[in-house]
């Protein structure tokens, strides 16, 4: 999980200072953003109630996710949440949002670790999407990221992961270099999530996945969060200098406490 959170932290500065430089520096002003807060909220939901659900349980489960999203939002309202999400989070009676952005895909990682059985995992992913990202586009991105992480954890290689995602969710034929040439900041799920997956597929270790994602020059924190989450599951190794840089930004946060607790149970 920290692989995703570190990606969020490293990418945070470049969300506002877009770069195409693969060798970019880790910026002093980096901090965790809404991506990390929501990953912690998902961890908290699962720790609080790890029960499996049937198809008929998806709605009830989505209300549990919703209440944790709101709880964590209220702790970190200034972490970079979008306007639509903030308005939803502040209104306890708000209906499910139909956002088509990448916010559902960036927070699914804990579900994959907690539920290894494929159908159960996807049911939980759907429940996690419903409150705020109840659109086909956002859900597809969340399913694709969950699938990639599950396959990485199960020891599948990159060709297998690529083929599965291509057959089921997205064409991934465009190489990163080509994508980078025209890529811009756009949080739309179908625009930003496939390049984040490609950033992982073209990586050779954890750090290169993060660098690939940030240097797309797009929604850097979320794309690095997604690429980092997959890379962590695939490489099982994060360099110490990245851990040290990012852990400082997390000290004394509920995010760290909750995610650590989650990793002790499911990591
Ligand atoms: Mg963010």
Backbone angles phi, psi at 15, to 5 degrees: -65, -35
Tens of pLDDT, residues 168-185: 999 999 999 999 999 999
85 CA from centroid of ligand 1 (Å): 12
Quote the ligand 1 centre to 6 CA distance (angstroms): 12
Q: 80 C-alpha vs ligand 1 centroid, how far in Å?
A: 6
For 13-27, how does the pLDDT look when each residue is reduced to its tens digit (9 = 90+)? 999 999 999 999 999
CA distance 149 to 143: 10
Rounded distance from Cα 122 to ligand 1 centre (Å): 24
- For ligand 1, the distance from its centroid to the CA atom of residue 242, given in whole angstroms, is 19
Label residue 153 by pLDDT band (50, 70, 90): very high
CA 221 to ligand 1 center in whole angstroms: 5
The residues near 222 (Cβ < 8 Å, ≥ 6 apart) are 8, 11, 15, 35, 102, 103, 105, 106, 187, 192, 196
CA of 201 to the centre of ligand 1 (A): 22
Ligand 1 centre from 34 Cα, in Å? 5
CA–centroid distance, 12 to ligand 1, in Å, is 7
Residues in Cβ contact with 74 at an 8 Å cutoff, skipping those fewer than 6 apart: 89
Distance 55 CA to ligand 1 centre (A): 31
CATH class of 2-266: mainly alpha
pLDDT at 243: 98
CA distances from 219 to 5, 34, 117, 210, 248 (A): 15, 13, 31, 12, 23
φ and ψ at residue 238, rounded to 5 degrees = -120, 130
In the reported structure, the alpha carbon of residue 220 is separated from the centroid of ligand 1 by a whole-number distance in angstroms of 8
Confidence of residue 267 (pLDDT cuts 50, 70, 90): confident
Ordered by start, the domain boundaries in the chain are 2-266
pTM greater than 0.75 (yes/no) = yes
- 222 C-alpha vs ligand 1 centroid, how far in Å? 6
Which pLDDT does position 137 carry in this prediction?
Answer: 98
Q: How far is the CA of 153 from the centre of ligand 1 (A)?
A: 25
List of residues 6+ apart from 224 with CB closer than 8 A: 7, 8, 10, 11, 196, 199, 210, 213, 214
Q: Is 217 left (phi over 0), alpha (psi -120 to 50) or beta?
A: left
Supply 77's token pair: 């309202």
Residue 32 pLDDT exceeds 90:
yes
Q: What is the pLDDT of residue 227?
A: 98
Distance 54 CA to ligand 1 centre (A): 31
Cα(8) to centroid of ligand 1, in Å? 7
Instruction: Write down the pLDDT at residue 205.
Output: 98
103 Cα: distance to centroid of ligand 1 (angstroms): 8
CA of 42 to the centre of ligand 1 (A): 16
């Amino acid at each position: 999980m920290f692989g995703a959170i570190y990606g969020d932290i490293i990418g945070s500065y470049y969300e506002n200072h877009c770069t195409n430089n693969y060798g970019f520096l880790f910026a002093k002003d980096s901090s965790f953003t809404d991506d990390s807060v929501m990953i912690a909220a998902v961890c908290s939901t699962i720790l609080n109630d790890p029960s499996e659900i049937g198809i008929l349980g998806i709605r009830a489960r989505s209300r549990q996710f919703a209440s944790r999203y709101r709880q964590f939002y209220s702790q970190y309202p200034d972490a970079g949440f979008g306007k639509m999400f903030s308005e939803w989070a502040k209104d306890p009676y708000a209906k499910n949002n139909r956002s088509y952005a990448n916010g559902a895909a960036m927070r699914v990682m804990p579900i994959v670790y907690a539920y290894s059985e494929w159908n159960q995992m996807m049911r939980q992913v759907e429940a996690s999407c419903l409150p705020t990202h109840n659109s086909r586009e956002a859900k597809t991105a969340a399913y694709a990221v969950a699938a990639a992480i599950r396959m990485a954890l199960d020891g599948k290689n990159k060709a297998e992961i690529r083929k599965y995602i291509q057959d089921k969710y997205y064409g991934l034929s465009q190489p990163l270099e080509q994508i980078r040439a025209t890529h811009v900041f756009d949080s739309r799920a179908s625009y930003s999530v496939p390049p984040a997956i490609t950033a992982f597929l073209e990586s050779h270790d954890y750090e290169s996945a993060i660098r690939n994602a940030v240097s797309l020059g797009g929604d850097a924190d979320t794309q690095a969060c997604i690429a980092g989450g997959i890379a962590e599951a695939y490489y099982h190794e994060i360099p110490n200098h990245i851990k040290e840089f990012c852990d400082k930004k997390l000290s004394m946060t509920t995010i760290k406490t909750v995610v650590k607790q989650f990793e002790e149970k499911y990591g």
